[in-house]
Amino acid sequence: MKITRRALLAAGAVLTATATLAACSSGGGFGSPAASASSSAVSSDNHQPLTILIGTSGDAETNAVKDSVAAWSKQSGTQATVNVASDLGQQLSQGFAGGNPPDLFYVTNDSVATYASNGSLEPYVTQLKNKDSFYPSLVKAFTVNGKEYAAPKDFSTLALVINTDMWTAAGLTDKDYPTTWDQLEQVAQKLTTPQHVGLAVSGQFERLGVFMAEAGGWLVDDNGKAAASSDANVQGLTYAKKLLSEGAMKYSSQLGAGWGGEAFGTQKAAMTIEGNWISGAMTKDYSSVKYKVVKLPAGPKGEGTIQYDGGWGMASQSKNKGGALDLVTYLTQPDQQLGFAKAFGVMPSVQSIADQWKQQFPEQTAFLDGAASSKSIPSVAGISDVIKNFDSQLDGLSSTDPKQILDKVQTNLQALPGLS
Amino acid sequence: METVMARAAGTTSAPARSATRRGPGIRGRDGVAGWLFTAPVLVILGLFLVLPIAMAAWVSVSSWSGLGSPFSSTVKFVGGANYAALLAKPGLAQSDFGTSLRNNAWYVLLVVPVQTAVSLLLAVLVNRRIAGQGAFRTAYYFPSVTSSVAITVIFLFLFSASGTVNAVIGWLGGTGPGWFTETRGVVQLLLQAVGVHAPAGNGFLGLTWFDWVAGPSPAMLVFIVMAIFTTSGTFMLIYLAALQQIAEEIDEAAVMDGAGPWKRFWYVTLPMLRPTTFTVVTLGLIGTWQLFDQIYVGSKGGPANTTLTPAYLSYSQSFINNAWGRGAAIAFILFAIIVLFTVLQRLALRERTPRRRRSHG
């Protein structure tokens, strides 16, 4: 009896000790209060060193960002370190939970709501001096519940990429670039041979969604409410289903390729729908394939494409928000953005250098031209799971009723906060 | 006489005194020393095991969203809401969880029996007195000591659309599937080949019954083959150790009774290996239900969630979606599943005669 009591006492002591240890050792970890998150004013000790976390496409991007940040550091006298994330989402979550996140980091428009919803992000964009220089659609893509959370740094749109050799071999000329759905269907049929299919796309909403946009639909309506099961969306997917059933379009997975660019690069398809990142893959892996990028054809309700946006997120827990704000202003200046575009081929987020960019990359103008008619994935927490589910349903599009798929997407969307 | 009396009194009183004073003193000092010696382990276990589990348990019933401390005043107790979203409330969270359970159940169903059988077979082969026994033992054990990440990467190459496996299938005149792009289950593919298509109908956890029996996708099948390949070596060693514990006299006695090699294996060796089989199956069940690193490296749950597992879903809900409560709840449900299966198989592998049960504890 005595021993049991003593055992209990000792166990209690050990537990207390461990609890104390945990509280001390984790420092800024679980022990630290989230109080620092609540201070909203972007002003603080401007000499606290900054850390910047980026998810990079390669050495070119890493070095370009590092050089720019170093130049700012020299100019401002604030120390700043650029770290490359191996898994950006995971490392950010760890930072937020541990109370020690990077001051600035890359965010995408489909993840911004996740971080904004729990207060991890500082809605600092209204305080940016160059706020009005961005494309409004980009700023909107990073707006959650009326607050602008990230300064756009670059963006991509989808366009139609055409293999020029196959194009001429099918007897097509520059005048035949499709501008309507009917024309796209016709050229896709003409370009389909036993060796290759006319059009190959990844079987995902992230690509097939362009047909929904061109039919005048989207996941949400103008008021930001769930509208997946609209007639326009049904029309868009019905068109895609028609192309699939005719054999003029195939999913890249059916061709044994991981994405549209791979199917296109390995010449299993004459056309694909991809973003401007495809130019990097073409130069690196498929340099022998000649191609041309044109705007996507207009649907029944005009032109439409999807845009993917990158921006700079600022941690609400940052200890030097003033310095971080200054750095974002510096990095999103036109000349810096043009430098990034040259270094790793992104499209700048400011309108003023659009013409310069087009001169620099004449073969990619179609991507930038798409900006005017492009739609973004709604910035709502939990949207990525809904889209993942949509994607897995689209896999069976050729044997499923589009309306049935979209109804299920609508149900899932309505379960998200603020969409119903 | 007096001295004798005194001595007698002394001798009687001394033990009496020691019984009251020294006795507990010795035990007490032993106790202190015992606790002192076990303290480092208790502290380490408490700090790195008990405390995190307690924290996770709290997170699973809280509204913590991943910002700052889960014990701060802004975090609310939400009761079973996180569990309900997974188990009771129809929706995406439930169907994703159902999908992950379906995927992992097929994985367990195929990996555990096959790896147990293969490891036993390898152990029996290696246990024979043959030349180069050591070389075989090393060869069989080799995949187990190689990093699972490295093996996953190699398997990704082997099973890529234009990889070695499909090249061999093509050379044999067949067409290999897109191992990491095909989203239908193998049972479903076989059924479709004979003209059976998905019937509409009710289901369980957001999946129709047809979804449940659709089988593992080709990508999951790759992970299944890989698991059998990598873990059979470890379990072979466990079986080998057990086989070498069986005295040769027993085998000889069976020979004297006229039992052939098959009968000796089936009625003598295998029953004697029962405790080992229990260990192997238990370890197998625990390991397979916790499938994570191969998925993280190889497929991230794709294509179309067909390699999603509860462990990976728990990670992605927590770290990617900031739904920490739901992620922790998945972890605890997974824990319950593993305990349940371990108890079930302990019942199944129970020794039936009471005398033997005592001898094996």
Q: Which residue has the tokens 């020691």?
A: B18
Which of B67, B93, B178 has its CB closest to that of A34? Answer: B67
pLDDT of residue A19: 43
Q: In this complex, is the C-beta atom of A204 within 8 Å of any C-beta atom belonging to chain B?
A: no
Chain A positions touching B47 (Cβ under 8 A) are 18, 21-22
Q: CB of B55 within 8 Å of any CB in chain A?
A: yes
Contact residues, chain B, for A90 at CB < 8 Å: 319-320
Does position A26 have pLDDT exceeding 70, yes or no?
no
User: CA-based Rg of chain B, rounded to a whole angstrom?
Assistant: 28
User: Could you read off the pLDDT of B79-98 as tens digits, one per residue?
Assistant: 899 999 999 888 889 989 99
Of B35, B47, B70, the CB nearest to A10: B35
DSSP code at position A125: G
Question: Cα(B45)–Cα(B277) distance, rounded to whole angstroms?
Answer: 29
Interface contact flag, B31 A3, Cβ < 8 Å: yes
> Which of B47, B66, B183 shows the shortest C-beta gap to A22?
B47
Q: Which residue has the higher pLDDT, A14 or B75?
A: B75
Q: Which of residues 135-174 of A touch B (CB under 8 A)?
A: none
> Per-residue confidence at B28, pLDDT binned at 50, 70, 90?
low
- pLDDT tens-digit series, residues B236-245: 999 999 998 8
Identity of the amino acid at B64: W
pLDDT at B291 over 50: yes
Mean pLDDT of B335-350: 90
Q: Which of residues 86-105 of A touch B (CB under 8 A)?
A: 89-90, 93-94, 96-97, 99
Residues A108-141: tens digit of each pLDDT:
998 899 899 888 999 999 999 888 999 988 999 9
Give bridge partners of residue A298 from the DSSP assignment: A180
Best CA proximity match to A393, nearest among A410, A381, A416, A376: A410
Q: With CA atoms as reference, report the closest residue to A366 among A286, A303, A311.
A: A303
Q: Please, are residues A329 and A130 in contact by the beta-carbon 8 Å criterion? A: yes
Q: Does B71 touch chain A (CB under 8 A)?
A: yes
Which residues 13-42 on chain B approach chain A with CB closer than 8 angstroms? 24, 27, 31, 35, 39, 42
Specify the DSSP class assigned to residue A195: S
Average confidence score pLDDT of chain A: 87
Please count the residues of chain B.
361
- Looking at chain A from residue 377 to 416, which residues have their Cβ under 8 Å from any Cβ of chain B? 381-382, 384-386, 388-389, 391-392, 395-396, 412, 415
Question: What mean pLDDT comes out for the span A258-267?
Answer: 92
* pLDDT at residue number B361: 40
CB of A58 within 8 Å of a chain B CB? The answer is no
pLDDT at A222 over 90: no
Instruction: Name the amino acid, one letter, at A19.
Output: A
DSSP string, B212-264: HHT---HHHHHHHHHHHHHHHHHHHHHHHHHHHHS-HHHHHHHHHTT--HHHI
Residues of A in contact with B69 (CB under 8 A): 30-34, 99
Q: Residue for token digits 């913590």?
A: B64
**In contact, A243 and A397? CB cutoff 8 Å:** no
The pLDDT value given to residue B354:
53
Return d(Cα B335, Cα B330) in angstroms, integer: 9
Quick: pLDDT tens for A282-305.
988 999 999 999 999 999 999 999
What percent of chain B has a predicted confidence (pLDDT) above 70?
Answer: 88
Q: How far apart are CA A122 and CA A73, in angstroms?
A: 22
Write down the pLDDT at residue A35: 39
B305 CB near a chain A CB, below 8 Å? yes
Rg (CA), chain A: 25
- What local confidence, expressed as pLDDT, does residue B133 receive? 79
Question: What dihedral do alpha carbons B182, B186, B191, B193 form, nearest 10°?
Answer: 60
Q: Tell me the C-alpha distance between A409 and A213, whole Å.
A: 16
The minimal CB distance from B322 to the residues A11, A33, A118 is found for A118
Q: Is the pLDDT of residue A23 over 50?
A: no
Q: Do B304 and A119 touch (CB under 8 A)?
A: no
Amino acid letter for position A333:
Q
Q: Which residues of B touch A93 (CB under 8 A)?
A: 66, 318-320, 322
pLDDT tens digits along A356-371? 999 989 989 999 999 8
Å between B121 CA and nearest CA of chain A: 37
Say whether A84 sits in a helix, a strand or coil: strand
* Residue A339 CB burial class (10 angstroms; 0-12, 13-18, ≥19): middle
Q: Is the pTM of this model over 0.90?
A: no
> Domains in chain A, ordered, with CATH?
13-156+307-367 (3.40.190.10), 158-306+380-414 (3.40.190.10)
Question: What pLDDT digit, counting tens, does each position of B127-153 carry?
Answer: 887 777 788 888 888 888 888 888 988
pLDDT of residue B12: 45
Mean pLDDT across A291-320: 94
Per mean pLDDT, which range of A26-35, A324-333, B305-314 is the poorest?
A: A26-35
Q: Is the preceding peptide bond at B303 cis, omega within 30 degrees of 0?
A: yes
Which of A290-304, B27-41, B246-260 is modeled with the greatest confidence? A290-304
- Residue B324 touches chain A, beta carbons under 8 Å: yes
Q: What is the predicted pLDDT for the residue at B174?
A: 81
Over 70: is that where the pLDDT of B219 sits? yes
Higher-pLDDT residue of B36, B195: B36
**Pick the residue with more confidence: A258 or A414?**
A414
For residue A93, what is the enclosing H or E element? Answer: helix A88-98
Looking up tokens 């690069």, which residue turns up? A265
Task: Please tell me whether residue A140 adopts helix, strand or coil conformation.
Answer: helix
Q: Which is more confident, A38 or A365?
A: A365
- Please give the pLDDT value at position B352: 67
The band of B173, judged by pLDDT with boundaries at 50, 70 and 90, is confident
Residue where the block lists tokens 């490296």: B297
Beta-carbon count within 10 A of B59 CB: 24
SS3 string, A343-363, reads HHCCEECEHHHHHHHHHHCHH
Handedness of CA B177, B183, B189, B192 (dihedral sign): negative
- d(Cα A312, Cα A290) in Å, to the nearest integer? 35
Please say if the pLDDT value at position A30 is more than 60: no
Instruction: Please tell me the predicted confidence (pLDDT) of residue B200.
Output: 67
Comparing CA positions, the residue from B326, B312, B323, B62 lying closest to residue A113 is B323
